[in-house]
Amino acid sequence: MEPIKIGSTIPAEKIHYLIEKFSFKKSLDIDYEDYGDRFVYSFSLNREAFSDIALYNGLANFVIDIMLNFYAEGFIRRRVNKLFKDLRGVDKSQVVEEAYQILLDKKQLKDEKDRLKNEVLDFLIEHNCLIIDGFIIFRPRSLNNLADKAIEKAMERLYLLLEYRDYIETLRLFIDTQYSQMEVVNLVVSDEGIQLLDPFNNKINNEEIKYILEEIFEEEISESDIILSSLLTLAPKNIIVHGNADNSDLLVLLKEIFKGRIHDCIGCEVCLIESIVVKNKS
């Protein structure tokens, strides 16, 4: 069997670690040729432990890894610039980065990656030699399809993010134009859930808010919906968060909406009471 040759303009030292990933590296004779502007690796089996097809398959994976790790980002950027000329520069960069991470994720776009790999595999079997730069230029269909699918997913996420930004901005504007019904609202987080207390630590009754939401929406109303609606109605000048709520999606949302008005308590009577309650229940 003649050696199988794979070449690229990517510096060899950058991709050598990919060769180390070969499970059958000890069964290979590997030669390296440097032509200044590109390198060429030659691979051949030195024992019968693996079949020729296993070698072709392993080298096809090697080529795909090089494409995705070192060519895909620039390729995606060119596709985004071509397909989305009106997109803002910041959003373009975000789409490129998001699409690139999608391509690197082994769990995503498996079918498209398999099609590209099969095209590379067929080419290697037929020609025994593949220069990656030339392959990308002259046979870009599968890579185009893979990149476009990743870009499509990234664009969907961008649109969701833009909608989220508009949602937050609308609520911020609403809060800024609302009359504050309370100077301070205490937001207390415990194992029992979240409670709103007035400045005198009396529980704020939000049953009316709950009733209104249930009248408006047919689906079940969550505690987070009630808390958010209550705070939007009260529009307090300050919200003090008591308890550990670092992982709460609601708190992340509230800190974006009430930016500058919401603060974490560093310790007070309310926090102490909550701590005792939690400890007694555990």
Nearest Cα residue to 42 out of 67, 16, 6, 12: 6
Res 36 pLDDT > 90: no
pLDDT of residue 204: 85
pLDDT of residue 217: 63
Res 277 pLDDT > 50: no
The percent of residues in the chain predicted with pLDDT above 90, rounded, is: 34
Give the separation between CA 113 and CA 122, rounded to whole angstroms: 14
Q: CA angle, 15 as apex, 82 and 3 as ends, to 5°?
A: 105
Helices marked H in 128-248 — which ranges?
132-138, 141-177, 207-216, 223-234
Residue 69 and residue 29 share a domain: yes
pLDDT of residue 276: 42
- The last residue of one of the domains, among 106, 138, 172, is 172
| Mean pLDDT for the stretch of residues 97-107 | 93
How many domains are there within the chain?
A: 2
pLDDT of residue 282: 40
Confidence of residue 219 (pLDDT cuts 50, 70, 90): low
Rounded to two decimals, the pTM is 0.69
Give the separation between CA 99 and CA 222, rounded to whole angstroms: 33
Res 1 pLDDT > 70: no
Give the separation between CA 109 and CA 116, rounded to whole angstroms: 11
Helix (H) or strand (E) holding 196: strand 193-197
Residue 165 and residue 185 share a domain: no
Residue 222 and residue 153 share a domain: no
Give the separation between CA 151 and CA 275, rounded to whole angstroms: 48
Residue 247 and residue 114 share a domain: no
Query: At 236, phi and psi to the nearest 5?
Result: -65, 150
Query: At 92, phi and psi to the nearest 5?
Result: -60, -45
Per-residue pLDDT tens for 234-267? Answer: 899 999 998 776 657 888 899 999 988 998 887 7
Residue 156 and residue 44 share a domain: yes
Residue 148 exposure: Cα atoms within 13 Å on the Cβ side = 8
Per-residue pLDDT tens for 173-199? Answer: 999 998 988 899 998 887 777 888 888
| Mean pLDDT for the stretch of residues 47-71 | 85
Confidence of residue 99 (pLDDT cuts 50, 70, 90): very high
Residue 230 and residue 214 share a domain: yes
Residue 21 and residue 151 share a domain: yes
Confidence of residue 47 (pLDDT cuts 50, 70, 90): low
- The last residue of one of the domains, among 149, 172, 195, is 172
Residue 96 and residue 18 share a domain: yes
Residue 72 and residue 18 share a domain: yes
Res 131 pLDDT > 90: yes
Give 33's strand partners: 40
Res 281 pLDDT > 70: no
Residue 205 and residue 140 share a domain: no
| Mean pLDDT for the stretch of residues 161-173 | 91
Residue 189 belongs to domain with CATH number: 3.30.420
Res 205 pLDDT > 90: no
- The last residue of one of the domains, among 172, 193, 217, is 172
Mean pLDDT score of the chain, rounded to an integer? 84
Residue 72 and residue 42 share a domain: yes
Res 151 pLDDT > 80: yes
Confidence of residue 279 (pLDDT cuts 50, 70, 90): very low
In this predicted model, which residue has the larger pLDDT, 225 or 66? 66
Nearest Cα residue to 123 out of 59, 178, 72: 59
Confidence of residue 124 (pLDDT cuts 50, 70, 90): very high
Res 103 pLDDT > 60: yes
Identity (one letter) of the amino acid at 77? Answer: R
Residue 224 lies in domain: 178-281
Confidence of residue 140 (pLDDT cuts 50, 70, 90): confident
Residue 151 and residue 127 share a domain: yes
